[in-house]
Amino acid sequence: MRFIAWWNGLGRQKRTGWLIIAVSMFYIAYFLKARLFAPGVPIQTKEWVWFGLSFAGIMLGTVNIRMAEMRERNQQPLPLVDPDKIKK
């Protein structure tokens, strides 16, 4: 229940970033466990490309989360400064 409350409390941009990271991590784990370390048919070039793009997805998701945090920080009102305390 706590996870659902946390997820619903996030903004759209942060939620998208976390979703991109989760999907990328899931594919990397699948590729390592089921394709790379398990016997079977040879790995195709397309699968290697998707594996590499998963790391790009992690970077993109991280950028998305950090941009959302910067947007939240910039939307807060600036602290008021006492004009007498400003050095001339």
Q: What is the pLDDT of residues 37-69, one digit of tens each?
A: 888 888 899 999 999 999 999 999 999 999 999
The percent of residues in the chain predicted with pLDDT above 90, rounded, is 52
Q: At what angle do helices 45-74 and 12-30 cross, to 10 degrees?
A: 160
**Global model pTM greater than 0.75:** yes
Report how far residue 66's alpha carbon sits from residue 17's, in angstroms, rounded to the nearest whole number.
9
| Residue 50 CA: distances (Å) to CA of 30, 36, 58, 65, 86 | 12, 13, 12, 22, 55
* Mean pLDDT, residues 11-35: 94
Give mean pLDDT, residues 60-85: 82
Q: How many CB atoms lie within 10 A of CB 10?
A: 14
The residue that leads in pLDDT, 50 or 7, is: 50
What pLDDT was estimated at residue 36?
Answer: 86
